[in-house]
Amino acid sequence: MADIDVLVECFNNMMDGLYYYYDRRNGEIVEIYILHLELAHKYLNGDNLSYIEEWERKVVLETVDFLKNIRYYVKLPTRYDVDEYRIMARFCYTRKKKKHVNRLLDALSGKGRMRAFNETVRKLKLVEEWKEFRHNELVSIAIKWCEENGIPY
């Protein structure tokens, strides 16, 4: 059974080169780094891992196990699937004051739009509303993902 709060936490921690997978066997979330995937493939092709630190070798061997049992894993949405910009744009249109809508939408145009958006949210004293809206959007994404993949939550 998937824990929606854990899925939301994964969505909050997403970054390039890091992927999350749900293990259908035990309901746990596994972090997989691209670097470790590359090393795991090398290991499976006969490469010796003695040149990497012991802690990292352990992670690579866990990644090898992941590759050998990939059929049990379901990939969580990536940061591109959890389109932060779209969530921010939707938030803009939930505002009752047209002035707020316009200022927030202006912040989303141009360079540094995420930083500008967050700064505008702060200036308009909408921080708590934004946090709640964003959290609810991430919960909705998590529930939809569970339903699409037949995973109880």
- Name the pLDDT band for 120 (thresholds 50, 70, 90): very high
CB 145 within 8 A of CB 77: yes
pTM summary value: 0.86
- β-pair partners for 20: 31
* pLDDT per residue as tens digits for the range 25-72: 999 999 999 999 999 999 999 998 899 999 999 999 999 999 999 999
Share of the chain above pLDDT 70, in %: 100
Model confidence pLDDT, tens digit, residues 83-98: 999 999 999 999 999 9
Instruction: Please tell me the distance from the alpha carbon of residue 41 to that of residue 76, in angstroms, as a whole number.
Output: 21
Mean pLDDT of 99-118: 94
Residue 34 backbone phi and psi in degrees, to 5 = -55, -45
Please tell me the least confidently modeled range out of 20-24, 31-35, 107-111, 127-131.
Answer: 107-111
Mean pLDDT of 16-25: 95
Q: In terms of pLDDT, which residue wins out, 49 or 7?
A: 7
| Residue 18 confidence (pLDDT) above 90 | yes
What is the Cα–Cα distance from 143 to 29, expressed in whole angstroms? 15
- Give the confidence band of 114 by pLDDT, cuts at 50, 70, 90: very high
Where are the chain's structural domains? 17-75, 84-148
Q: Which residue has the tokens 């249109």?
A: 93
Q: Considering only CA atoms, which of 121, 87, 128 is closest in space to residue 106? A: 121
Q: For residues 153 and 142, is the Cβ–Cβ distance under 8 A? A: yes
Closest CA to 40 of 30, 27, 25: 30
